[in-house]
Structure 1
Amino acid sequence: MSTQLPVRARLAVAATRGVAAVSRATGRGDGSVIGGRVGLGIDPRLLRRLAAGRQVALVSGTNGKTTTTRLTAAAIGVLGQVASNPFGANLPNGHVSALALAPHTSYAALEVDEHYLPHACDAARPRVIAMLNLTRDQLDRAMEVAMIARLWRDTVRGRHLHVVANADDPLVVWAADAAEEVSWVAAGQRWHDDSEVCPECGSAIERVPHANGTAIHWRCTGCALARPNPQWTLDDEAVIDPDGNRHDVKLSLPGRVNRANAMMALAVAARFGVRPNEALPRLAEVTSVAGRYAVVERDGKAIRLLLAKNPAGWLEAFDMAEQAPTLLCINARDPDGLDTSWLFDVDFAPLRGCRVLISGERAYDLGVRLAVNDIDFVHVRSFTDALATMPDGRAEVIANYTAFQQIRAELNRVD
């Protein structure tokens, strides 16, 4: 594809790839961000040029973007090589790097930061957009969730594209309802605190629970906004497609949330003509996503790494974690958000009965929250100290973004 580009764009692609390669070789990172930044500096229209002629799927939401994008790329991969940004570089720099590093692919699956969805739509002109969920995140700098829902709604209105949307999230439904074509997926919603009020009229959202306590229907008490009938549903460990066919989902990734992410990926791939039974074996081959869910053997421990960056993410992490010694690690750097007050929105009760250790630059903030929740804990200074105090066997590590990256880097250094 690069040979069809203007000379300036070809130079920008070469610079993107070269800078990314140097970044990787010097151990500074995977080069996704810096490479794309250089390329866009040379040709500001580079993303649009690289996306032209490809069939593109965009994946966005507060939680699960990286995993769902990885699964979507695997599913669409039935048709051929897929350009993607597997390490979560979800801004224009990362999109440019992903496309520049795979210049001859006909397909792309790109994770997109929820604030940048309009920009990505303008530049990449996607065939499909997957809308996963909207919840609070990085309270000191992120837009209020209803504002993002409005942004998404305005983005899809009037565009010729197909939206795959979570029918269980009222904010997502309201946003996606403005699209010309929508596939509704019953992906679930454990965290309700950000969708108690209707984004259309401000009335209360009413949920009708199933006998087991899971919400199976919701509606606004003041207007017509209500849960649409989903075409894709999840039945225990099986996905039921729009034709009523049942497909067993056998994943290497843990938790119900990842089965829901897989269902979203199958629904996106179906818009490209991929049948679920063709895609499922490829989804089963995904064992970790940018280090998440990976189990690392170290000093007699089987350590699993889980990322949790906001209240909704912590709920899902607790669902995936086993009853085992657990290290919780919290930082508050710029990529994490500087405000840690969101910790008081998390119910840490699932950790009762576990041996809990805490670490990170804001461990004391976490300790106060755990004390309020009557969770016993031990403070350790580092990941190495945590390992020294844990018994042999299974161990869980749940960390927010920069803390997760620190622990992952430490494990890689030992390897």
Structure 2
Amino acid sequence: MAGNSDPLTPRAKLAVTAGKAVAAASRAAGRGSGSVIGGRVALKLDPDLLARLAQNLDVILVSATNGKTTTTRLIAEALGAAGPVVSNALGANMPAGITSALAGGSDAKFGVIEVDEKYLAGVARDTDPKCIALLNLSRDQLDRAAETRMLAENWREGLAGSKAVVVANADDPLVVWAASSSPNVVWVAAGQMWKDDAWSCPSCGGVMQRPGDDWYCGECGFRRPTPSWALSGDHVLDPHGSAWPIHLQLPGRANKANAASSAAVAAVFGVPPQVALERMYQVQAVAGRYDVVQFQSRDLRLLLAKNPAGWLETFSLIDPPPTPVILSVNARGADGTDTSWLWDVDYTRLTGHPIFVIGDRKLDLAVRLEVANQSFQVCENLDQAVQQAPPGRIEVIANYTAFQDLRRRVGN
């Protein structure tokens, strides 16, 4: 329980104070939220600070390739019914950003923390979480991220014997294999639209069989576990077989899946599904994602898609043709500099939409769309794309830094 005793040593308090000062200076200089630089300074002064900040909290870690920022926000909203929550809601999900977030929550009961996949094992070691939510694993940032099975192995080894309740997606074989080393797993049937990273068995390398929604390895017998929670249309089925309606302001099947996992996490802490799901309705947008903004007298809906699995889910959200679509792709450090992933995205799903292409790597994307037989226009910037788009709301899909550029341009 938080607030029982002060866990911070004088050195830790100094580290927190210094980190906050540096973060404030960074914000004042217009260099972003300052949470990462502030956390780095704090950890330099006290390398054990993350563990100290976490020791009076019930910590929940959320990790995945896609959906972790949104799911973190939904869980934080749901657990607010049981006590004050501190969270890294803006997505600074490596140790420095996490340390900054926890330093701001001195009277919190829960710490709901999004964690980058590569750092999950280390952050779990430092924070002694009560619960860990594992949603999915797919290819991302090809130039520097480990191949997906290596990430799954990292999770599997890092979580072996963990005391945490692991809430894991039963439909993703990589997640199931990673979570199976944990003694206490709650399985959620959250679905898996993108299957291209899960055709071979992570346990033995055999070929996965996928009859219907089921999956199993024909060679070693590794198979889908029986879920106790499930997403079923617009409802979450709980372990007692009750169906609870999902009402979200966030669009799409992927967010219903995030809500199902979030309800299972909330139940670990005694928050009933009905209460958890009602609270999730409050979330309208997450760090600008799904926001509809006005720009040049037009409505633009901003959608983030960082990798093939994310683009696939996003295509299912957009309004039908002839809704205009603007696509923006960068390949800066935070995106991964390798754009070969564009060839894994099925752009034929955009047939019938007027398409406008912008971003640092607009020519890479143009070649890909050409091969997919799509008609499109390459534009210099957002302003030009919006001016050329036919009437109606415009769907704008961008990868990570391209999305940040767009938010700055529209003043969001």
The equivalent residue for 1:363 is: 362
Q: Cα distance, 1:381 vs. partner?
A: 0.5
Q: Does 1:110 align with 2:113?
A: yes
The equivalent residue for 1:266 is: 263
The amino acid that maps onto 2:340 is S
The amino acid that maps onto 1:328 is L
Structure 1 CA distance for aligned equivalents of residues 180 and 221 of structure 2: 12
Q: Secondary structure at the match of 1:118?
A: helix
2:7 touches 2:55 (CA, 8 Å); kept in 1? no
1:136 touches 1:194 (CA, 8 Å); kept in 2? yes
2:202 alignment partner, one of 194, 199, 204: 199
Q: Does 1:48 align with 2:33?
A: no
Structure 2 CA distance for aligned equivalents of residues 297 and 393 of structure 1: 12
The amino acid that maps onto 1:247 is W
The equivalent residue for 2:147 is: 144
Q: Cα distance, 1:18 vs. partner?
A: 2.1
Cα offsets for 1:275-327 (capped at 9, x unmatched)? 11111121001000111011112233211111111110100110111121000
Structure 1 CA distance for aligned equivalents of residues 167 and 210 of structure 2: 22
Q: Secondary structure at the match of 2:210?
A: strand
Q: Secondary structure at the match of 1:250?
A: coil
1:241 alignment partner, one of 233, 238, 242: 238
Gaps of 5+ in 2: none
Cα offsets for 1:220-275 (capped at 9, x unmatched)? 11012111111111121111111111111010000000000011111111111111
Gaps of 5+ in 1: 210-215
Structure 1 CA distance for aligned equivalents of residues 215 and 331 of structure 2: 35
The equivalent residue for 2:227 is: 230
Structure 2 CA distance for aligned equivalents of residues 367 and 304 of structure 1: 22
TM-score (norm 2): 0.97
The equivalent residue for 1:94 is: 97
Cα offsets for 1:329-351 (capped at 9, x unmatched)? 01111111111011001101111
Q: Cα distance, 1:79 vs. partner?
A: 1.1
Mean alpha-carbon deviation: is it higher for 11-20 or for 45-54? 11-20
Structure 1 CA distance for aligned equivalents of residues 246 and 68 of structure 2: 19
TM-score (norm 1): 0.96
The amino acid that maps onto 1:304 is R
Structure 2 CA distance for aligned equivalents of residues 328 and 254 of structure 1: 19
Q: Does 1:21 align with 2:24?
A: yes
1:159 alignment partner, one of 158, 162, 176: 162
1:124 alignment partner, one of 122, 127, 134: 127
2:324 touches 2:392 (CA, 8 Å); kept in 1? no
Structure 2 CA distance for aligned equivalents of residues 75 and 409 of structure 1: 30
1:301 touches 1:391 (CA, 8 Å); kept in 2? no
Q: Secondary structure at the match of 1:165?
A: strand
The equivalent residue for 1:281 is: 278
The amino acid that maps onto 1:382 is N
Q: Secondary structure at the match of 1:79?
A: coil
The equivalent residue for 2:347 is: 348
Percent sequence identity over aligned pairs? 52
2:191 touches 2:231 (CA, 8 Å); kept in 1? no
Q: Does 1:175 align with 2:174?
A: no
Q: Secondary structure at the match of 2:214?
A: strand
Q: Cα distance, 1:390 vs. partner?
A: 2.0
Change (3 A) 1:194 1:4: closer
2:7 touches 2:52 (CA, 8 Å); kept in 1? no
Q: Cα distance, 1:26 vs. partner?
A: 3.1
Aligned length: 407
2:7 touches 2:56 (CA, 8 Å); kept in 1? no
CA RMSD of aligned residues (A): 1.2
Q: Does 1:314 align with 2:311?
A: yes
2:122 touches 2:158 (CA, 8 Å); kept in 1? no
Structure 1 segments of 4+ aligned residues over 3 angstroms from their partners: 1-4
The amino acid that maps onto 1:199 is P
Structure 2 CA distance for aligned equivalents of residues 58 and 161 of structure 1: 10
The amino acid that maps onto 2:143 is D
Structure 1 CA distance for aligned equivalents of residues 88 and 317 of structure 2: 24
2:288 touches 2:302 (CA, 8 Å); kept in 1? yes
The amino acid that maps onto 2:235 is A
The amino acid that maps onto 2:383 is T
The equivalent residue for 1:296 is: 293
1:59 touches 1:69 (CA, 8 Å); kept in 2? yes
2:141 touches 2:338 (CA, 8 Å); kept in 1? yes
The equivalent residue for 2:40 is: 37
Q: Cα distance, 1:3 vs. partner?
A: 4.5
The equivalent residue for 1:212 is: none
1:18 touches 1:35 (CA, 8 Å); kept in 2? yes
Q: Cα distance, 1:21 vs. partner?
A: 2.4
1:300 touches 1:393 (CA, 8 Å); kept in 2? no
Structure 1 CA distance for aligned equivalents of residues 130 and 291 of structure 2: 32
Equivalence map 1:64-103=2 (5 Å): 64-103=67-106
